[in-house]
A = this chain, B = another copy of it.
Amino acid sequence: MTLIKKPVTGMKEIMPREMEIRAYAQGIIRETYESFGFTSIETPCLEDINNLCSKQGGENEKLIFKVLKRGEKLNLETAKTEADLTDMGLRYDLTVPLVRFYSNNANELPVPFKALQMGNVWRADRPQRGRYRQFMQCDIDMFGEATNMAEIELILATTTTLGKLNFKNFEIRINDRRLLKAMSDYAGFDKDKFDEVCIILDKLDKIGLEGVKEELVKEGFAETSVDRYCALFDRADGTLKTLDRLKELLGEALPAEVSANLYEIISSVESVKEADFKMVFDPTLVRGMGYYTGTIFEIAIPEFGGSCGGGGRYDKMVGNFTGTDVPACGFSIGFERIVLLLLESNFQIPGKGVKCAYLVDKDMAKDLYAKILKSASEDRKTGKTVLVVKMNKNKKFQKEKLTAEGYTEFKEFYADSYKG
């Protein structure tokens, strides 16, 4: 029988060069977040299908890989719908599992609880270049901190991490769902239509402000309201001046604590930040997930078009599990994009040890071979990588190949001239 050699559709195999970068980036991420007092936790890759299909995940719920029931629970004859056939699914993000974990273990966890997660998630998206159906997410989340100490720390920890990975000159764009609501109210849009307005505003990157205007009108929103709405974004320049202006325009429609919160986060981060980046106030920032309740933020890296991660406050989600809301705020790094950028920039991992290849004569006697292994072991103690490998007939070609793999030192051992 011949088996299938290709990986399953839309999922990738990771080769040694990329694995090195991934391990290095994961190390920096873990080390930096831990220095801020975040602690790692892990949940199973599979979750109860009811948790995954509970409307927390928006569009992602359509992309779940579902697992077939097993044993007597599976009854093909009586099964009428998909729901009869499955009991679990592969997680599509790390947030729903984390909130479940927190709800299950809150009594044992410190307050505030600061979690770090690095793990794979799965989405049955249409396969396309650079987008895979299995990918890694790196999330930090804080539970039990209602003030913007949470936002400030999440942003400082994430940007410090990106700085250590050599990213420069990037932006953290910030906004607040409550400001988005206030602007929609101010324009005179129906409160029920808020989500629809946000979905259209979210296209601004692609279709521009004129495009947003046109689409709003096309969708039946009153032209005067649309004009009033779009005028709010007219002179947005990313600075706090834009926020001043919005505050003035919106007046009482915008709760004072919303703007105060944004001022505090932006100014605190700006005065403490380590990495080379800018805080940008962006009143057009939407972030897809419906579960956000306050501040939202996103990483924009110039070398990369779209967002390289983001997060925000979701104070209502724990309540879905326990009946009691708990303040929560998280920041997710787009790990696969970060790795892609590092690979494309030909990133060199600092402080890597020397790689040395021992080329050993095929006819080497076993007792001499043991001496070579001992010498390799001594060399490894100095921090070197030592590859012990048979010498090929075409030694030159073999060395070229090894050089391409990063080997810079070579030692040759011949059976007839071994000196110990």
Contacts and interface: CB of A to CB of B under 8 A. Distances in A.
Contact of A320 (B2, B15, B36, B37): B2
Contacts of A153: 373, 388
Contacts of A101: 7, 13
Interface in A36-93: 36-37, 39-48, 50-51, 54, 65-68, 70, 74, 76, 79-82, 85-88, 90
B386 A37 contact: yes
A324 to B, nearest CB: 11
A43 B132 CA distance: 13
A168 interface: no
Given A37-B387, A272-B373, A85 B70 contact: no
A183 B384 CA distance: 44
A249 interface: no
Nearest to A402: B110
A256 interface: no
Given A13-B104, A41-B14, A44-B8, A36 B387 contact: yes
Interface residues of A, number: 100
Interface string A12-32: 111110011001000100100
Task: State the number of copies, please.
Answer: 2
A366 B266 CA distance: 12
A369 interface: yes
A367 B45 CA distance: 42
B373 A268 contact: yes
A387 B327 CA distance: 19
Contacts of A42: 13-14, 19
Interface in A374-406: 374, 377, 380, 384-390, 401-402, 405
Contact of A43 (B13, B43, B274, B320): B13
Interface in A302-360: 320-323, 353, 355, 357
Nearest to A71: B124
Contacts of A65: 46, 67-68, 70, 88
Contacts of A353: 35
Contacts of A8: 44, 46-48, 87-88
19 contacts: A2-B321, A3-B50, A8-B48, A13-B42, A13-B44, A14-B41, A35-B353, A35-B384, A36-B387, A37-B388, A46-B122, A66-B67, A66-B68, A67-B67, A76-B80, A153-B373, A156-B377, A271-B374, A272-B377
